[in-house]
Structure 1
Amino acid sequence: MGESPLSSELLRALRERLARGQFREALELCLESERDGIRLSAEAQLLAATAATRVGDLVRGSTLAAEALEGFRTRADDDGRMRATNLMGAISFERGLLDAAATSFTESLRLARQLRDSLMAARTANNLASVTHLRGDFPGALELYRSALLDFQRLGDRHFIAETYHNLGLAFRHAAAWQEAERATAEAVRHAEVVGDRALLALTVTGRAELKVALGETAMAVQELDRAARLAGDVGDELGGAEIRRIRALAALRDGNFAAAAQEAEAAHAVAQAQDSVLLTAECAAAAALAHRGLGRQELAERRHAEAVVGFRALGATKLLERLEEEWANSWPL
């Protein structure tokens, strides 16, 4: 059965908004349609779930993605199932549900290979690499990232080339492979600038800024963060904005400005917690713990430190936990 003219028009409008990075507008269009009594198709629900996820509304994104998946299953639509399952994996990853994320990505990869969808197979491998990386398996993550990058380069997809270089930059930074990290982050930004996607550019510029902080180049990092904040604001990316504030906190910590670090970390923590982002919440708590300790607020510092430890342990993020404990041991209360 074909789509109704109204459904086709809604899908066209949603795809246009997503292509322009107008994620909040796309989500509002879906909500308006539902209020008007229009039943969303599985494809429209998936697009709405994508929009919700991109603006940081993970709870709504998860609900919409699950509804879309059920709709695709009812229609025996393997392509739709593949895409919905991949998105559900991404949402689970952001919410700290790593086992669920790995299961979803593995299923999406199986469907991609079954359908011989090379692009989706590479995207899912890239996502699986992020789970592997967070769990501390750097060699395994590197192998998956490089495999995905080669596929994206063969397909000529600059958007996902930029994303994969961004992920490689994170992995190299965590491994203290500074030259490789600088090359990867530079490539990520370069490809994102060619694509012209503001959300993607915000992501890659933020990644380069965090590397600058790690290298002690805080003045340059702040300039990058100012640019990233404008871009994230343009597309209504609340979680992206919180990530930027977390890195501002790291820059302030590096400069010894504990008051500014505490303010930025706590503001980012509030957004991350409200949006149910377990990883970002734990990372913000870690930054806040160090800032409060520097200010002599030992009780609050201990509380945030304990929160971060619980979060990282729940995620299985062993490397992040080890780094926090090292920084905590080397910091001293006033």
Structure 2
Amino acid sequence: MRRPIPRPAGWDAGLLAVLGPRGARLGYQLEVAQREGDDDAAARILTDVGDALALAGDGRAAVAAFEEAVTHADRAGQSRQLGDVYWRLGQVNEGLRRPVGGARWYERAAEVFASEGDVPDQVMALQASARCRIMTEGPSEALRLLQDAIDLARSQEDDALLAAAMEQAAEAAAALSYVADALAKYREALRLFSRTGDAIGRVRCTIGVAECELELGDHVRAINTLAPVETELELGLDDATAGRGLALTARFYLEAGERERALEEFKRALELLARGGAVGRRADLMLAFGRSIELTDGPQQAGALLMAALEDYERLGDRSRIGPAAYSLARCYFDAGDTIRADEAIDKALEVSQRLGDMEGLELCTELAVRIAVTMGQGKLALDRLRLAARVKGELGDFAGEVRYLLRALDATLAIEDLDAVVLADEFIEALRRSGTRFLVADELEEICDKLEAAQRPDYGREIMVLLAQAELEAGRHAGAATAFARAAGFAVRAEEREEAGALWDQAIAIGVRIGMSEVGNWRIDREMFGHRQ
């Protein structure tokens, strides 16, 4: 006889407190099933318990019940039941604002549904996982999952299933600023929703199409697209959809210069979105409106809206949107002259872009972060931010970005008397050794070598020029290689490395003679004067 599975402390007490007599009955049935070793029955009872706890609002206790149900269902070999419990765990974790856990459970459910040949449920699980992953990993990963969902839905020839996946993919594409792709997806979803008779879906996608058209700068077309559904929006198909439509109308008025009318529609939209539980959409609206207000009324008026949007994203745990919102807030504060708060906001934006591996976001945030640090008179902080961006880019495989950020940091360090350039020079040369000099032109390298020499470090100049010479040789650019070897020899002399200088001139001369370079005569003279013969 199997022993009952140990439960988390207080689990039974919580069950009884929340569910009362029904909880006592379920608890008794569970004990009987476990005592008899009936894993199938235990899994079903625990699933009922989890459902009841979730309905009663105790999400954490529901998770404990569902996780125990997973153990029983797995032991009973009930794969379908296992998939259903995984789905419930995804829902509860998502409700508890644990998107990482939600995505993990939804994907397990998708695997089970796939093994069972249940394509519709597999598609729904992939969509749900994408909804969570867009918050934790950004829209790119979500879009990948959604493309899988779209392909599966097409195979079923199920318009409703395909429309839902297509609409969600359009939202992810829009979040990535793939506006043309988002527009195409919204249009296809609109066609499918129209065919299935789903009025709310049709209106949502009509709004999506208009939003994309507005982003593409086609204001007239966007207004005309939205016009046919304005009556339905006024009738209030649902608060979230109506609020989204009014938000777009507010943007139309704002861009047309009708500020008072825009603010009126904006406030109505916020109320509807809040009432409809569309916290993310409400934050999107405040962010978009805040950016527009900043352009028309200045940064001081926009700050409160941008901060409110950021706070909403943080409550949702939506990291993919926290970064852009924090960046917008930092820029707003910086433009308003509030560098302290700008610095706090940009730190948050930098952290998110690094964690998500968002290359474009990292570049934007680093540029602003450096400007803020310089304005605050904190040169070392500015350099640290450049070095951090370089390291992250290197870790993500963007070696060109790594080298360029290190070059900028080294250049800035050499311009500040109080800072020691040695560590940065070492990092820069190490990056060149790893990825070569192909990301920089010869003039850039020669300029930094001259600055290193002026800072009494000609030995670094010699090493950089040798790396350039080797790269030129490998590329078949023999004249460039010879010139770089000769330059390296000059730096070696000034670093009092006479033997090294002689060897470098020998390489320059040998190449120059072979291809008939006019500089060979001068290099021979330099070799005789400065290069120690071995």
Please tell me whether the aligned partners of residues 192 and 204 of structure 1 are also in contact (alpha carbons under 8 angstroms): yes
Q: Note closer, same or farther for the CA distance 1:260–1:185 as it changes in structure 2 (3 Å cut).
A: same
Instruction: Within 5 Å, give how 1:216-235 maps onto structure 2.
Output: 216-235=257-276
Aligned counterpart, 1:104:
145
Partner Cα separation in structure 1 for residue 233 and residue 225 of structure 2: 12
Query: Which protein is bigger by CA-based radius of gyration?
Result: 2
Please tell me whether the aligned partners of residues 250 and 262 of structure 2 are also in contact (alpha carbons under 8 angstroms): yes
Aligned counterpart, 2:202:
161
Aligned counterpart, 2:238:
197
Say whether residues 1:178 and 2:216 are aligned partners.
Answer: no
Partner Cα separation in structure 2 for residue 141 and residue 240 of structure 1: 17
Decide which of 111, 126, 140 is 1:85's aligned counterpart: 126
Q: Which amino acid aligns with 1:198?
A: D
Aligned counterpart, 2:432:
none
Instruction: Within 5 Å, give how 1:28-107 maps onto structure 2.
Output: 28=57, 33-34=62-63, 39=69, 42-43=83-84, 46=87, 49=90, 58-59=99-100, 61-73=102-114, 75-107=116-148
Q: Which amino acid aligns with 2:297?
A: G
Please tell me whether the aligned partners of residues 161 and 191 of structure 1 are also in contact (alpha carbons under 8 angstroms): no
Q: Which amino acid aligns with 2:250?
A: A
Aligned counterpart, 2:158:
117
Partner Cα separation in structure 1 for residue 190 and residue 357 of structure 2: 29
Decide which of 302, 309, 323 is 1:282's aligned counterpart: 323
Gaps of 5+ in 2: 1-39, 71-80, 372-534
Deviates more, 1:245-254 or 1:141-150: 245-254
Q: Note closer, same or farther for the CA distance 1:48–1:311 as it changes in structure 2 (3 Å cut).
A: same
Secondary structure in 1 aligned to 2:57? Answer: helix
> What is the aligned residue count?
311
Secondary structure in 1 aligned to 2:297? Answer: coil
Q: Note closer, same or farther for the CA distance 1:196–1:130 as it changes in structure 2 (3 Å cut).
A: closer
Say whether residues 1:271 and 2:312 are aligned partners.
Answer: yes
> How many Å apart are 1:172 and its aligned residue?
0.9
Partner Cα separation in structure 1 for residue 332 and residue 145 of structure 2: 37
Q: Note closer, same or farther for the CA distance 1:244–1:58 as it changes in structure 2 (3 Å cut).
A: farther
Q: Note closer, same or farther for the CA distance 1:164–1:50 as it changes in structure 2 (3 Å cut).
A: farther
Residues 51-110 of structure 1 deviation map (CA, whole Å, 9 limit, x = unaligned): 875897644543442353345346443221111102222333344533322221121112
Aligned counterpart, 1:18:
none
Q: Note closer, same or farther for the CA distance 1:53–1:192 as it changes in structure 2 (3 Å cut).
A: farther
Aligned counterpart, 1:22:
none
Residues 111-161 of structure 1 deviation map (CA, whole Å, 9 limit, x = unaligned): 212222111112222333344445554444333322221121111111221
Partner Cα separation in structure 2 for residue 273 and residue 288 of structure 1: 14
Q: Note closer, same or farther for the CA distance 1:215–1:76 as it changes in structure 2 (3 Å cut).
A: same
Secondary structure in 2 aligned to 1:88? Answer: helix
Using CA pairs under 8 Å that are at least 6 residues apart, name the structure with larger relative contact order, 1 or 2: 1
> How many Å apart are 1:296 and its aligned residue?
1.0
Please tell me whether the aligned partners of residues 63 and 93 of structure 2 are also in contact (alpha carbons under 8 angstroms): no
Deviates more, 1:162-171 or 1:193-202: 193-202
Residues 2-45 of structure 1 deviation map (CA, whole Å, 9 limit, x = unaligned): 9969968987x99xxxxxxxxxx869366554466784864476
Q: Note closer, same or farther for the CA distance 1:314–1:27 as it changes in structure 2 (3 Å cut).
A: farther
Q: Note closer, same or farther for the CA distance 1:102–1:233 as it changes in structure 2 (3 Å cut).
A: closer
Decide which of 335, 339, 354 is 1:294's aligned counterpart: 335
Secondary structure in 2 aligned to 1:196? Answer: coil
Partner Cα separation in structure 2 for residue 220 and residue 104 of structure 1: 40
Please tell me whether the aligned partners of residues 192 and 201 of structure 1 are also in contact (alpha carbons under 8 angstroms): yes
Residues 199-239 of structure 1 deviation map (CA, whole Å, 9 limit, x = unaligned): 33333333333444344333223222322332233344433
- TM-score, normalisation: structure 1: 0.72
Q: Note closer, same or farther for the CA distance 1:165–1:91 as it changes in structure 2 (3 Å cut).
A: farther
> How many Å apart are 1:165 and its aligned residue?
1.5
Residues 165-217 of structure 1 deviation map (CA, whole Å, 9 limit, x = unaligned): 22212211111110122233445654455573223333333333344434433
Q: Note closer, same or farther for the CA distance 1:289–1:111 as it changes in structure 2 (3 Å cut).
A: same
Secondary structure in 2 aligned to 1:28? Answer: coil
Q: Note closer, same or farther for the CA distance 1:143–1:248 as it changes in structure 2 (3 Å cut).
A: closer
Deviates more, 1:258-267 or 1:44-53: 44-53
Aligned counterpart, 1:209:
250
RMSD of Structure 2 on Structure 1 (CA) = 4.3
Gaps of 5+ in 1: 15-24, 329-334
Q: Note closer, same or farther for the CA distance 1:32–1:303 as it changes in structure 2 (3 Å cut).
A: closer
Please tell me whether the aligned partners of residues 221 and 251 of structure 1 are also in contact (alpha carbons under 8 angstroms): no
Partner Cα separation in structure 1 for residue 138 and residue 149 of structure 2: 16
Partner Cα separation in structure 2 for residue 261 and residue 86 of structure 1: 34
Partner Cα separation in structure 2 for residue 198 and residue 89 of structure 1: 24
Please tell me whether the aligned partners of residues 55 and 238 of structure 1 are also in contact (alpha carbons under 8 angstroms): no
